[in-house]
Structures are given as C-alpha cells and as structure tokens.
A and B are shown apart, each in its own frame.
Chain A
Amino acid sequence: DAKTTQPPSMDCAEGRAANLPCNHSTISGNEYVYWYRQIHSQGPQYIIHGLKNNETNEMASLIITEDRKSSTLILPHATLRDTAVYYCIVRVASDSWGKLQFGAGTQVVVTP
C-alpha cells in the first residue's frame, strides 16, 4: 500500500500558484519525499524530491513540514500544460534502485 495520502482532484486557475498537499504521517527518518507527474498519454515525469529542507528547481518548490508528516508541492505559475496527475511518493534514497510505489495521485486541472 502507498504510504501517502493525496486529495483525488483539484482545480487551479492559469497563472496562479497551485499548492498540492500530501500527507505522509508514517515517514521514516531516512525516507525522502518524491513528486512525479503524469500528463495524459505520457509516462510519469520526475519533478522534485527532498528530505527535510525546502527544495526548489525550475519546475516547482517542495515545502516539507518540520515534523516531516506532510508536504506541499508548489507550482508557482500554473499553465494549461501543468494539467496532469501528480504523485507524491516516499522512498529511501539510499535504495537507489528500489521501486516507486505509486498511489492514485491528485488529478490537477488548470483552467483558463
């Protein structure tokens, strides 16, 4: 079973920030939080990952709470191309060849 809980769907207006929540209350100290997204008819795409510090890259920002039991993925200026299913996954980083355990994810729809 997936170790994370995400809302099944959310809408976001184009140009606004999209904040995607994820609960991972049973996360272990050596587990990272990974985010992937899957655009329709494509394979999952890696977005970002982090352990306990906030992380930012060209695609998104990841905010992890101090107790690490939840996190938020932020898409700063959502575009129509960001419409996708977003998956939050916890995984031991040292298990570099380990499988990814996907849940159902959050269907994000960006509207004009």
Chain B
Amino acid sequence: EAGVAQSPRYKIIEKRQSVAFWCNPISGHATLYWYQQILGQGPKLLIQFQNNGVVDDSQLPKDRFSAERLKGVDSTLKIQPAKLEDSAVYLCASSSGRANQPQHFGDGTRLSIL
C-alpha cells in the first residue's frame, strides 16, 4: 500500500512569511496527526484529527499555526507568520484508528526560517 505522502520536502522562508504543508494519509485511515520535530529531539504532536474533526490541538500555537482536514482525507498545516523557532521538520502520520494499530509516518517537510 502507498505510504503517507507529504510535500514539499524542503522549504526555506524568511521570518514573518507564511508557509503551508500538505499531507495525504494512507487510504482509509481515519486518524491523522501533525508532529513537529526540532533538531535533536523526538517528534511532538501539534494536532490530531479523527476524520475531519479535531481531537487534540492542545500543543498547537494557535496564534500562528492552523490546520484543516477537508473531507476527512488530505490535510494542510499552515504557519503565519513564521518565527525563527519554527525551524523544524513537520511530520504527518496516519492510523486506521483501530485498537493496537501503529501510526505510519511520512518523511516530513524540513522548514528553515531565515
């Protein structure tokens, strides 16, 4: 089966600019996650969707970050305006939502803020 697809792979922007990332989960997976991974650290959850509804966005900096999952399939994560500390890899993951099933990750988007 096809894995989780993310684009772009790399993005370089200046601070205060806006940026958007796209994720296409594994077909049929109801649950979608966005994680932020700062260099040298493990991934940290930003937001979680169940179908097209938000389950957990407690760690999402809502003053600058937003995410949506239209029609319960693809998702976009946006940052506006970007800050230097947003430099990180943004990972998308999906799971079927059934008990004991693992999350599958995409290869992420590496964001560099100048």
Residue numbers of A with Cβ under 8 A of B are 2, 32, 34, 41-46, 49, 87, 93-94, 96-97, 99-105
Contact = CB atoms under 8 A, between A and B. Distances in A.
Contacts of B97: 96-97
Chain A to chain B: the 3 pairs with minimum beta-carbon distance, closest first: A102-B42, A43-B105, A46-B102
A105 B42 contact: yes
15 contacts: A41-B107, A43-B105, A43-B106, A44-B43, A44-B93, A46-B104, A94-B99, A96-B101, A97-B30, A97-B95, A99-B45, A100-B103, A101-B45, A102-B43, A103-B42
A95 to B, nearest CB: 9
B104 A99 contact: no
Given A34-B102, A96-B99, A104 B56 contact: no
Interface string B31-46: 1010000001111110
A45 B105 contact: yes
Interface of B: 4, 30-31, 33, 40-45, 48, 50, 55-56, 91, 93, 95-108
Which of A42, A93, A94, A97 is the most central at the interface, judged by chain B CB atoms within 10 Å of its CB?
A97
A93 B98 CA distance: 9
A39 to B, nearest CB: 10
Nearest to A95: B99
Contacts of A99: 33, 45, 48, 56
Nearest to B46: A99
A32 B100 CA distance: 9
